[in-house]
Structure 1
Amino acid sequence: MSYDPPRPAGRLLLTPEDKDAPARVRRLRGLGLGERSEPAFDAFADRLAEVAAAPYSMVNFIDEEQQFFAGLHTPDGGAKGAGLAAAREGGELELGRYMARDHGFCPHVVVRRKALVLEDVCDYPRFAGNPVVDEFGVRSYLGAPLIDRTGIALGTICVVDVEPRPWGQAGLRTIKSMAAELVERLERREGVHGI
């Protein structure tokens, strides 16, 4: 696996090179995904947060430049609008619908094409320097890729917490199962969008 050169920031940050991004973008556009939020994706994120007992969850589609949270759950139900910025106010994580590709852990999941469990991101030097750790206080992550029938990783589903979390094997099974469920739903869109 190759990586983009480190960014000239305070910490070493290695965002994985994503050679599949152009094909992913074509596939997402063909399915009508990745450009607007939908109530069904927000409902899925709400259910994912409930099942995982996590304060934040996302359905995330990734293109060459950014991540788009088509489904988003936050503890207060906020950030359902189309705000471009993600900000931290009063110590609470506040997410908008878009995030830079070099923020967070979902781009790693898409490139790896495997689930990622980080019970405490600070235990992993490669991930501890990610901007979401300092900017938003993210301490725990659990995500799985959304790989469709064509073999393209369209994006991810994930849950995050501001406290370390022992996700364990049960969490891993849950995130993988819910990813498979969402992929089935996404593939039903093909007839609607003429693919």
Structure 2
Amino acid sequence: MRALRRPEDTRADGLPAILSDPARLAALAASGLVGSGPEQVFDDLTRLAVSVTGCAISAITLVGETRTYWKSVPHLPYGGVEQWQNAVGDSFCYFAVAENGPFVVENAETDPRTAGHPAIGPWGVGSWAGYPIMTTDGQPIGTMCVIDAEPRVWTPEELGTLKILTRAASNEINLRTSLSSARAALSIAEDALARSSELARSLQDSLLPPLLRPAPGLDAAARYLPVAGEIDVVGDFYDLFQARGRWWTAVMGDVAGKGTEAAKVTALARYTLRADAGVHLSPALVLGRLNAAMLAQRAARFLTAVQVTFRATASGVTGRLCLAGHPPALIRRVDGRVQQVGVSGTLLGEFDEVFLLDVRFRLAPGDLMLLYTDGACEARPDPHGPAPAQPIFDEAALARCLAASHGLDAAATVEHVAATLVAYHGGWASDDTALLALRVPPPD
């Protein structure tokens, strides 16, 4: 429970005194956004927050002394400046401003900080989580929040992503404010570029599992190789998790395009696959349900994917694999032979009717399966390098590379493939690449 404020920290109306702080109000005015209408750059962030958390409402607001000004509330139609604001005490937004940090409520009705608050009924607040939008000199001028109609426990992943998205909103506002000063235009632009790159990679990293959870009977490893010189968020992703009982699932996908729209589809895909893989053990059925979810959400990007559902057996690993417009998986047998696995299916997010087929496979001790995105089989040499006329590093070259790693474990195999790709294109990657290897260890 939050400590009670001292009298000097509270205004006569009972609200936090920081709302009237002159430095904070000056920073808010300098943003130039008070009373402005919606913009896509902010709506993209709130829509992504909705996709990641599953909440119905996400909002970006600017918090003044007596009024709260809405900047992005995508679920509400814009009705003009007068309608897109309310009294500062009629929402939870001032809490995060007063805390100068995150404000998280799991049950608004019972939390002593919010019980009886006038915002609960009009906004349908069952639970609330938000972070303050900060200026470069540390002034909290607004918030980005998500609202669920029901009480809920917020996961660290949800709060971490919301924090990153709030940083993005803060960076956008700060960039605009900073660029209004011609005196520091060049240094500010360089700093903004660095922050954008860090943010893009932070968001990209949040869409990849930070550490592969070990699956029984397997050693696993993954690598993500970013495109050369790119600072935008792209759509390659992978995951490995326990589906149900003894069954595990590995999945890899490649969303078309990049940026916020690609990140939204990536988040939708990862959360949908994790939810459905625990219910349905058929990869084809799970990918079909993802296709339906993308169409229902009107996803702005299509994706290709490969899903593998498997379990350990006394003789190795057995499972099923399905390709949705994705390159086939490669299996390196214990004797060094490399085989393609999977029947080419329809990519997801474009068609109501899709062809998806499960293919059974077995991995014996010493066998390894490699999943990859097309950056690994469409690598091009640096056009400005010493040998720009070399052919594309295609699927046949990738199979030869995998065969050359015969005897290596999952981690060493992934490093070998990654090093081969980097050596081929000389560090000039034309597309992002994700690699995921699953290997049954041989007998001691």
Deviation at 1:173, TM superposition (A): 1.1
- Greater Rg by CA: 2
Change (3 A) 1:53 1:24: same
Amino acid at match of 2:131: A
Kept after mapping to 2: 8 A contact 1:21/1:63: no
Could you say which residue in structure 2 is the equivalent of 1:47? 48
- 170-179 or 109-118: bigger deviation: 170-179
Could you say which residue in structure 1 is the equivalent of 2:161? 174
- 16-25 or 31-40: bigger deviation: 16-25
Change (3 A) 1:19 1:131: closer
Q: Secondary structure at the match of 1:125?
A: coil
Kept after mapping to 1: 8 A contact 2:108/2:115: yes
Could you say which residue in structure 2 is the equivalent of 1:30? 30
Q: Secondary structure at the match of 1:121?
A: coil
Change (3 A) 1:38 1:73: closer
Could you say which residue in structure 1 is the equivalent of 2:175? 188
Cα RMSD, aligned residues only: 2.1
- The aligned runs of 1:1-16 (5 Å cut-off) are 1=5, 2-5=9-12, 14-16=14-16
Amino acid at match of 2:36: R
Q: Secondary structure at the match of 1:29?
A: helix
Deviation at 1:62, TM superposition (A): 0.7
Could you say which residue in structure 2 is the equivalent of 1:149? 136
1:132-153 CA-to-partner distances (Å, cap 9, x unmatched) read: 1133331110100111211111
Kept after mapping to 2: 8 A contact 1:3/1:17: yes
Deviation at 1:130, TM superposition (A): 0.8
Poorly superposed stretches of 4+, deviation over 3 Å: none
* Unpaired segments ≥5 residues, structure 2: 183-444
1:15-48 CA-to-partner distances (Å, cap 9, x unmatched) read: 3222554322322222212221232222322222
Kept after mapping to 2: 8 A contact 1:147/1:154: yes
- The aligned runs of 1:1-195 (5 Å cut-off) are 1=5, 2-5=9-12, 14-18=14-18, 21-39=21-39, 40-74=41-75, 78-82=76-80, 84=82, 96-194=83-181
Distance 1:165 1:82 in 2: 33
Kept after mapping to 2: 8 A contact 1:4/1:17: yes
Question: Highest relative contact order (Cα 8 Å, sep 6+), 1 or 2?
Answer: 1
Amino acid at match of 1:98: Q
Deviation at 1:119, TM superposition (A): 1.3
Change (3 A) 1:169 1:154: same
- 119-128 or 19-28: bigger deviation: 19-28
1:75-133 CA-to-partner distances (Å, cap 9, x unmatched) read: xxx3322264xxxxxxxxxxx52121112211010011110111111221220111011
Change (3 A) 1:165 1:63: same
Distance 1:31 1:109 in 2: 19
Q: Secondary structure at the match of 1:61?
A: strand
Amino acid at match of 1:115: P
TM-score if structure 1 supplies the norm length? 0.79
Amino acid at match of 2:37: S
Distance 2:36 2:53 in 1: 25
Distance 2:21 2:73 in 1: 22
Change (3 A) 1:134 1:176: same
Q: Secondary structure at the match of 1:128?
A: coil
TM-score if structure 2 supplies the norm length? 0.37
Distance 1:131 1:119 in 2: 17
Deviation at 1:162, TM superposition (A): 1.4
* Unpaired segments ≥5 residues, structure 1: 7-13, 85-95
